Structure 1
Amino acid sequence: MFLATTYDKSSEAWTKFSPNVEVLRRMASYARSSADLLTNLIQQGQTGPYTWECLFRTPMNNYDAVVLLHRDKLSYPRRLLFPNEISLGKQIIQEKASKEFKPFLELDNIVECSDDARSKLLVNFDPSRFFLLDLKEEFPEMFKIWYDALGGDTIGLTWELKKRKRNEEDDSNQNSHVDVLKCVGELGKGFVRSVHLLKVPRLEA
């Protein structure tokens, strides 16, 4: 597969095993909307809420559920140029940040000796990476996970469609997904800031 873009004509990329069809469609959709926005910004200037920052943000309504992380618990919080907030859907949980760990040493907490350093320094500790691994292990077939590997504060979830069972009601379907998202929040307790349900999938007959 060969990937190319309209604006960046000097770059090129060949792929062999990925992306799959679903990811490819999502990439094409992002590229199309970003190109349209960039064209409008160039021709009309920055007006209204949709400015150049939107080029680096994924629209939240593209996900079925969204997990927001505590920014000060990220490995590189200063890399987070555009923090996300969300007002869509139904908020399932909201939690405070944990005081049990900090991914980095703050300047006002400089160590005084090597023993002090060994007791405080966490080497190669990335809470986002470990949380994602836990999600994939705990919910292998429940949803797909979308995350900015460079250090975003948002995790997007899209449900995996399943066959509808007999006498299965839509209310029970929504309740089951709410319970799953509560478990997601509990799994990342202290690191997860809030969890939001945006869409409940329609089960296939």
Structure 2
Amino acid sequence: ATTYPAFAGTVRLVKRWLAAHWLLRSHVTEEAVELLCAHAFVGSGRAKAGQSDESVPASKERGFARVVAFLKDWDWANGVFVPIYEDKDVGAGQEGSRVVVTAGSKAVWTVATDFDKEGHMWTAEGPDNVVANRVKSLAQATWNVLQQGAESGSLDVKALFVHPVDDYDFVVQLDVSALPRYTQNILADPVVWARKGKYANLQRQSAALAAPVPRSGFDPAQMFWDDIKRVHADTLKIFYDPIGGDRFGAIWDPSLKQPRPFRVMNHFSSIPVTKDIEKTKDKDKALVVLNESAVLSEIIRLGSGIVKA
């Protein structure tokens, strides 16, 4: 902290940025984020303790911009080495293990250190190819906004943390009154927790009768997200802001939209393909596709009491 005073603030900003765009924890681990932020300070032969280097970020804002710049240009197929465990940059120029990227690859980021030379301790479960490309596009868009703000002298900081939802196949809105962490939402509405009622004494009485019971770590939105991810792991990819998020976004597995033969263990909710029987060959009569409406109904049922009707 004394060597790089801007590091902690940089980590918080980058984590909040990824969380606001529905990627932190669910697809990108916090430890991986911390290593990438460390790379902005000590990677590529930058200064170590006792040395001075003007290229080291002196503020959390500069550190955030540097991480974003790295992510938009990073060829993650080559990996990155972060020399954080040695006094000297013994790993400078060293690359992480090269990754063979495929559409179904579960982990495409390699973030290596002296302790983890393979670089998959914190990226073994993701991000996959889809999410890694999403991070790259997000970083490019964020960088463009930062550049425009620097040129115009006016930057809407909150705009960097507002997440567009046009690319999702569907979005589930949650009831904010049932979310303990909603106060941490980037766009939280204070009306949700404002006192309601005309008479103050009645407000106090009703508050006493309905006093909440402290539940450490209770996060119904996160529990709901975990259930959806577990139940529909073979059907969709889901995204969520774990820091006060009030919506889920999901994309269907595109391969399930193509007709395929019916099997008992297909691992997804299916529905027969409707075709003209007279024009359909016998071997094609048992084709099925993803039953999207059934999956959505199941999600609403699982989220009873938390999904906004």
TM-score by length of 2: 0.44
**Other structure's SS at 1:156 match:** strand
Residue 247 of structure 2, aligned match among 122, 131, 154: 154
**1:70 is the counterpart of 2:193:** no
Decide which structure has the larger Cα Rg and report it: 2
CA contact (8 A) 1:146 1:155 kept: yes
Q: CA deviation at 1:72?
A: 2.1
Bigger RCO (CA 8 Å, 6+ sep): 1
CA separation of 1:45 and 1:135: change in aligned 2, threshold 3 A = same
Q: Secondary structure at the match of 1:145?
A: strand
Q: How does 1:11-50 map to 2 (within 5 A)?
A: 14=111, 16=120, 17=124, 18-44=126-152
Query: Helix, strand or coil: the match of 2:66?
Result: coil
- Aligned to 1:146, what secondary structure does the other structure show? strand
Query: 1:41–1:52: 8 Å Cα contact kept in structure 2?
Result: no
CA displacement at 1:44 relative to structure 2: 3.2
Per the alignment, residue 259 of structure 2 pairs with 164
List runs of 5+ in structure 1 lacking aligned partners: 85-105, 195-205
Task: Answer whether contact 1:83 1:153 (CA < 8 A) is retained.
Answer: no
Distance 2:221 2:180 in 1: 8
Residue from 38, 55, 59 that aligns with 2:164: 59
Find the counterpart in structure 1 of residue 207 from structure 2.
Answer: 109
- How many pairs are equivalent? 163
Structure 2: gaps spanning 5 or more residues: 1-31, 41-63, 71-79, 83-110, 112-118, 190-202, 262-271, 276-287
Structure-1 separation of matches of 2:295 and 2:67 = 43
Partners of 1:145 and 1:158 within 8 A in 2? yes
Deviation at 1:169, TM superposition (A): 5.4
User: 1:146·1:156 contact (CA, 8 Å) conserved in 2?
Assistant: yes
Question: Which secondary structure does the structure 2 equivalent of 1:193 belong to?
Answer: coil
Query: In the aligned structure 2, how far is the partner of 1:182 from the partner of 1:83?
Result: 28
Are 1:179 and 2:294 an aligned pair? yes
The 3 A distance-change label for structure 1 pair 79 and 64 is same
Tell me how far 1:173 sits from its aligned partner.
5.8
Deviation of residue 67 (structure 1)?
1.0
Letter in 2 for 1:131: F
Percentage of pairs with the same residue: 24
1:46/1:52 contact within 8 Å kept: no
Which protein has the bigger strand share? 1
Of the three residues 225, 228, 233, the one matched with 1:132 is 225
TM-superposed CA distance for 1:79, in Å, is: 0.9
Q: Give the AA of the match of 2:207.
A: N
Shift of 1:110: 4.9
